[in-house]
Copies of this chain bind each other. A is one copy, B any other.
Amino acid sequence: MARVVVDVMLKPEILDPQGQAVQRALPRLGYEGISEVRQGKRFELEVEGPVDAAALARVHELAGKFLANTVIEDFTVRVEAAEGAEGVTTA
């Protein structure tokens, strides 16, 4: 059993009104010096069995099909190990 994390973010060229709203609110709330905020989604998947290359490839496939809209979003898949050692594959 291992935890695989899928991060889904809007592509850099896609406008992010949610993130902009946060960024514009921060100075008013007393936090200067944050020049950009972008908001995305994080999925934590508990995968049964060993997380080998094949299992990661399947997670990558399902992430691209169901978790991200790859027309407007990028995603990364990585194994989250307890020691902080991480293997990353990028969309």
Inter-chain contacts of A47 with B (CB < 8 A): 33-35
Copies in the complex: 2
Query: Contact between B37 and A40 (Cβ–Cβ < 8 Å)?
Result: no
- Say if the beta carbon of A91 comes within 8 Å of chain B: no
In chain A, positions 25-42 with a C-beta closer than 8 Å to chain B are 25-26, 29, 31, 33-42
The count of chain A contact residues (Cβ–Cβ below 8 Å) is 36
Query: Contact between A43 and B38 (Cβ–Cβ < 8 Å)?
Result: yes
27 A-B contacts (beta carbon < 8 Å) = A1-B35, A8-B42, A9-B42, A9-B44, A19-B43, A19-B44, A22-B43, A25-B66, A29-B62, A29-B65, A29-B66, A31-B58, A31-B62, A33-B55, A34-B46, A35-B46, A35-B48, A37-B44, A37-B46, A38-B43, A38-B44, A39-B42, A39-B44, A40-B41, A40-B42, A40-B43, A84-B86
